[in-house]
Amino acid sequence: MLQPRSSDASLIAHAGRSYFPIAFIARLPFAMMVVGVLTLVVASRDSVALGGINSAFVGIGSAVFGPMVGAAADRLGQRKVLVPVGLANGGLLGVLPFVVQSAAPDLAVLAMSFLIGATAPQVAPMSRTRLVAIIRQRMSGDRRERVLSGTMAYESAADETVFIIGPFLVGLLASAIAPWVAVAGASVLTFVFVTAFALHPTGKLSAGQHAVVAQAPARELLRPRLVVVVAGILGIGFFFGSTLTSLTAFMEIHGESSQAGLLYGLMGIGSAGLALGSAAFPKTFGIGWRWLVFGLVLLGGAVAFASADSVLAVGIVLAIMGVGIGPTLVAQYSLGSDRSPVGRSATTMTILGSAVIVGQSLTSAVVGEVAERSGTEAAMLFPALSAALVVLAAVVNLVLSRRDQRG
């Protein structure tokens, strides 16, 4: 169990040294699912469009059931929810390669993809919920704001890093061994690390928190200031999906489609570093303005991506785009945490996490179809459209914030 500690102790001391590595690795299967399914289906059934549709079904399953998983965790506690969900998800991932490589109809593969999304363990939002609970309950008031800011920066950097590492691992395993190995690896990671995360002592802390705090009405989740954050992070999901799928189509032209995940990993170079560095930004550089400024960096890189015509040029542009992603995610998750209705933090964070994978999945399907019907050049326009949504949501967020300040 968690040991009582002084309010001056560090967050690592409060959570335990094993917590952060377990929570980080437990996120990887979630980040590998969409790309793993896409790569496996494309390789086994020779159709980018079918692979994209299956990726979309993963996202649809997560969109439908992800918030329910978060709501159940708010009410019942994380352990009671994560253990059975994680075991079910690990089993489904383990079975998927056999179904895809068999003579089973495409509809059976789609059903499996949907179930994988529906049982996706929501580790990242639940980790945020646990750490916020520790900060608010066990740290002195003069430290909370600074530690919370640093924690949101770390959590966003961890999310961004796994969403880069995940596809990178899929590409590495697919090109070095076989596409099914990546999905099988995600299954093993789910069984081991999601279970370890679920059983970690911090899982009891968040449950105890919600047991003594009355929940705000569910309609509070529909407040415009929270909805605009969901829209913005959905745009990041759109960006991830459209970039990876169009990149896969681009690399397929160059005869190396399985290596798209390796090239995609270049975005993580600047992204993770700047996400971690977000805690050092001055207070005068407000969270809303950070979202807008780095969203514009993302948009500029996406426009350049659309016109890139060589593997080298694409690699350079991907590294530039990474600079915009990390701080943008930090800003969005920080705002989501601040605006979460009372007693519904796991639900809110799960909605935000689901928005990323939903956006990634839907654009994987759409851009995969566009790539087959209209060509790679048309597909490579979609990251810019996605980044434009991120910027638009940032502008709306600033308008709503200013209106609330005047009110």
| Assigned token pair, 157 | 């950097």
Distance of CA 174 to the CA centre of its chain: 21
The three-state secondary structure class of 378 is helix
Going from the C-alpha of 98 to that of each of 41, 91, 102, 103, 177, the distances in angstroms are 11, 12, 6, 10, 16
Predicted TM-score (pTM) of this structure = 0.75
Report how far residue 319's alpha carbon sits from residue 164's, in angstroms, rounded to the nearest whole number. Answer: 12
Class of residue 16 by CB neighbours under 10 A (exposed 0-12, middle 13-18, buried 19+): middle
In this structure, the chain runs to a length of 407
**Triad 182, 188, 192: Cα angle to 5°:** 145
Of 82, 79, 74, the closest CA to residue 29 belongs to: 82
For position 8, what pLDDT does the model report?
A: 57
Report how far residue 318's alpha carbon sits from residue 329's, in angstroms, rounded to the nearest whole number. Answer: 17
For position 136, what pLDDT does the model report?
A: 75
Question: Is 374:282 a contact under the CB 8 Å cutoff?
Answer: no
What structural domains does the chain harbor?
Answer: 19-406 (1.20.1250.20)
DSSP letters, 297-310, are: HHHHHHHHHHH--S
For position 388, what pLDDT does the model report?
A: 96
For position 64, what pLDDT does the model report?
A: 82
Hunting for tokens 């839907």 — which residue is that?
362
Report how far residue 216's alpha carbon sits from residue 175's, in angstroms, rounded to the nearest whole number. Answer: 49
**Triad 242, 245, 248: Cα angle to 5°:** 145
Report how far residue 377's alpha carbon sits from residue 131's, in angstroms, rounded to the nearest whole number. Answer: 43
For position 334, what pLDDT does the model report?
A: 80
| Assigned token pair, 28 | 């990887």
Of 18, 23, 21, the closest CA to residue 128 belongs to: 23
Instruction: Give the pLDDT of the chain (407 residues) as one tens digit per residue.
Output: 455 555 556 777 777 788 889 989 998 888 788 778 888 888 888 777 788 788 788 888 887 888 888 778 877 888 888 899 999 999 999 999 999 988 889 899 999 999 998 998 888 878 888 887 787 776 766 666 677 777 777 777 777 677 777 777 887 787 778 888 889 999 999 999 999 998 888 777 554 444 445 667 767 777 888 899 999 999 998 998 898 888 888 887 876 666 676 777 777 766 766 666 666 777 788 888 999 999 999 999 999 999 888 888 888 898 888 888 888 888 888 888 778 777 676 678 778 877 887 887 788 778 878 888 888 889 999 999 999 999 999 999 999 888 877 65
| Assigned token pair, 199 | 């059983």
In the chain the first and final C-alpha atoms are separated, in Å, by 45
Report how far residue 4's alpha carbon sits from residue 164's, in angstroms, rounded to the nearest whole number. Answer: 36
| Assigned token pair, 12 | 């690592």
| Assigned token pair, 271 | 């992204």
Of 18, 49, 1, the closest CA to residue 196 belongs to: 18
For position 259, what pLDDT does the model report?
A: 66
For position 343, what pLDDT does the model report?
A: 67
The three-state secondary structure class of 196 is helix
DSSP H helical segments within 202-310, as ranges?
Answer: 202-211, 224-253, 260-264, 268-277, 287-307
| Assigned token pair, 148 | 């919370």
For position 5, what pLDDT does the model report?
A: 53
> In the Cβ-directed half-sphere of 336, how many Cα atoms lie within 13 Å?
33
Report how far residue 179's alpha carbon sits from residue 169's, in angstroms, rounded to the nearest whole number. Answer: 11
